[in-house]
Each structure stands twice: as structure tokens, then as C-alpha cells.
Copies of this chain bind each other. A is one copy, B any other.
Amino acid sequence: RINGERLWDSLMEMARIGATEKGGVCRLALTDLDRQGRDLFVKWAKEAGCTITVDRMGNIFARREGRNPSLPPVMTGSHLDSQPTGGRFDGVYGVLAGLEVLRTLNDLNYETEAPVEVAVWTNEEGSRFAPAMVASGVFAGVFDLDYGLSRADLDGKTMGQELERIGYAGDQPVGKPVGAYFEAHIEQGPILEAEGKTIGIVTHAQGQRWYEVVLTGQEAHAGPTPMPIRRDALLGAAKIVQAVNKIGLDNAPVACATVGLMQVHPNSRNVIPGRVFFTIDLRHPDDDVLSKMDRELRAAIDEVVADGRLEAKVEQIFYYAPVPFEEGCVNAVRAATAAAGFSNRDIVSGAGHDACYLAKVAPTGMIFIPCIDGISHNEIEDAKPEWVAAGAEVLLGAMLERANA
């Protein structure tokens, strides 16, 4: 049995790094705070007897040797980076639940057949650097290394530069054989809590398409410029924000469609905006519907610029089809949940996770626990200690099944 109190204490200690006033965390990828979080994890993993390797994307692997070191490791993990106004569980829970599994194996002097590894994936959130899950994507061969290292934040700093700066540009090649991969995560949505279930057995993750849009009109004075001749880029963007929302609603109940980021230029009170940059995030568990949403989006943008006042540059910067997790791994999660007697249900992940890319190169499964009010990507994100412990217990069970198979 895992030690729920130890896991909770580690979560709370990690949450001090980048703690915000409202009780959340701001630990953006590859900042000094991300480095501090990584250093603390590495310290803990070494104390647990692990060997540490870091690959060229800054992914960290903490390894507990198995009886048969030549077997590919059974791996778990998640990420330590957060949203600008993030919570204390998103990502870090999966990393520290993995660490708790290793600590528990140590307590029990338990030797696994295959090695066991805990991974910390770089820049999962996709907030400072887009897209999301960049480094697990490179690991899985979805992106090449140059693409990964050249992702830039809004100030133009690249992941490669920032990895060097914080000392996590490792020397290992990115990608290696993995026997099986499991990831524990908070649900980040309202379903488990609403239904009173402790464990979500994740069967799929929905597909995603991310876009960057630049709308260009013409800056002009807000006072003497008659309404009929304006070329107001923010007015166009406002129409597209509403169209995006409508696409989400029209493809109910499970579609999601969001504009999360917008920058207005020159952003001055008495200047008609001449240029607006914004992003769009479309999601659906059915790839055909996701394609239909893509067509609806493009038609909506075309309509907004149809009168020739504005010019639109639309780029899809991220796409992955809905991901089915591997039957054997899903069943391992199901069996571990049943063995521990936790209430549960099958669930589809609304968020992307590093597991979605790992699923391309290894048998993969995921374990969800509830979060309070389904709120995530928010400083008030919260979870109950018993949920946190339960997820780690299931993770231990599922990993042992695979590591001894």
C-alpha cells in the first residue's frame, strides 16, 4: 500500500515553488521556477536510490532497476510545468504519484522484473510554448528534435535556449523503448465528482486542433474616423470568438471550442485596432466531427473577412486525432481499481496528456481522480487527499502487473 500522507506532503512541498496568492501555482515551462521544481524532484528521486538521465528535450527519467535490466522499463510520469494561473495537482500529481510508487517499492524491498521509471516531460501545458506536450511528442517521434527545440514563447525565446539556460539540456537522445506507460492525473472536468466515483478508467482522449489567427485591418483614430469606413481588426476577432463558441455549442454535448489567448495591436484606447493575434482550440472525441468543426471554423472566418475590410491568416499549429488507450493497459488499471475496491467509471479525457503521445510508441493507460468542482487551469484547483492516495494505489497495482508480466 502506498503512503498517502507522504505523497500529499510532497505535493504540498512542490506547490510552494511558484505558489500564487490565491493558493495556486505559476510554474511556467523552463523558467527558474520550473528549474527549482525539477531540482526538487531529482533530489527526491536520488534519495529514493534512482539513477537520473535527462534527454535533449529536457525530459527527466528517474530509474529504479529491475531484476532484468535489459527489459524496457515500465514507465509512469507527467509534467511539472503549470499554467500562468495553474493549480497544485495538474501534472505534478502524476509525477509525484510515480515517485510514491518507487518509495513504496523501496519500503517493501520489492524487486520488479522490469525496471521502473518516472518521467518528467518538458512543457506539457503548451502555455508558455505552443503546442502542448511538445517534448513527449518528440519522444514519440511525432515532432522532430529541431521542431521541439525551436518552439518559441511570445518573447521569441526558444525551448532550446531556455533548456540551456536552466541547465536541463540533457545529453541523451530523445526516445527509447518503453514496456508500458501509465499516467495518473486529475480529471480536470466535473464528471467523476458529480457521480461520486473515485477512479476514472481512461479509455480514450479526445482529438484536438489548435490554430493561430492574425486578423489585419487598419489602425485609425477612434474619433474622426467614420464607422462605415473602419477596418477594425478587433471587431472581426470578436465575431470569430462568437463563431468559435457557436461551433462548440452546435456540436454538443461533447465538443469544446475556445479562444484562450488574444493580443490586440497597438492596444491603445483611442486607436481602432489594426491587428489582432488570437488562438483557437477545438476538441472532439470523434475525428470526423473534429474535421467538421475545422470546416465550420474556416467558413466562419471566411464570412467575417468576406467584405474585404480585413485579411485573415489562419494556421493550424497542432492536431492529433482522438487517442484510444491500449486494451491491456486499460484492463490493468481496471483490475487494480477493482482489487482496491474503489468506485469507478470509464471516462474519456477532455485534456491532452503526455500519455496521448506515449500511446503511439508504447502500450499506454491512464488513471483519473476527481478534482473539486471539476475546476482546473485555475488557482483554486483542488483534490481530496483520499482521491490522491487512491490514484497512486491504482498506479502501483497497474505498474506492478506490467513490470512483473
Interface residues of A (CB under 8 A from B): 83-85, 125-127, 130, 132, 187-190, 206, 208, 210, 218-229, 232, 234-235, 237-239, 241-242, 245, 248-249, 252-274, 279, 281, 283, 349-352, 374-379
- Total copies of the chain: 2
Check if A188 sits within 8 Å of B219, measured CB to CB. no
Check if B375 sits within 8 Å of A218, measured CB to CB. yes
**Cα of A142 to Cα of B227 in the assembled complex, Å:** 30
Instruction: Kindly list 20 other residue pairs between chains A and B, CB separation below 8 angstroms, not including A127-B271, A228-B252, A238-B242.
Output: A83-B270, A84-B267, A132-B270, A188-B224, A189-B223, A189-B225, A220-B376, A220-B377, A222-B258, A222-B281, A223-B283, A226-B253, A235-B259, A260-B273, A261-B264, A261-B269, A262-B267, A269-B281, A270-B351, A270-B377
**Cα of A228 to Cα of B272 in the assembled complex, Å:** 33
Chain B residues contacting A272 (CB-CB under 8 Å) are: 258, 260, 377
Chain B residues contacting A190 (CB-CB under 8 Å) are: 224-226, 229
Check if A260 sits within 8 Å of B270, measured CB to CB. yes
The residue of chain B having its C-beta at the shortest distance from the C-beta of A258 within the complex is B222
Check if A83 sits within 8 Å of B268, measured CB to CB. yes
**Cα of A377 to Cα of B206 in the assembled complex, Å:** 45
5 shortest interchain CB distances as A-B pairs: A224-B350, A189-B224, A238-B241, A222-B258, A238-B238
Check if A234 sits within 8 Å of B259, measured CB to CB. yes
Check if A223 sits within 8 Å of B260, measured CB to CB. no
**Cα of A267 to Cα of B14 in the assembled complex, Å:** 24
**Cα of A258 to Cα of B265 in the assembled complex, Å:** 14
Chain B residues contacting A266 (CB-CB under 8 Å) are: 83-85
Shortest C-beta distance, A366 to chain B (Å), equals 13
**Cα of A268 to Cα of B262 in the assembled complex, Å:** 9
The residue of chain B having its C-beta at the shortest distance from the C-beta of A205 within the complex is B223
Shortest C-beta distance, A121 to chain B (Å), equals 16
**Cα of A6 to Cα of B235 in the assembled complex, Å:** 42
Q: Which of B188, B242, B245, B377 contacts A242 (CB 8 A)?
A: B242
Shortest C-beta distance, A93 to chain B (Å), equals 14
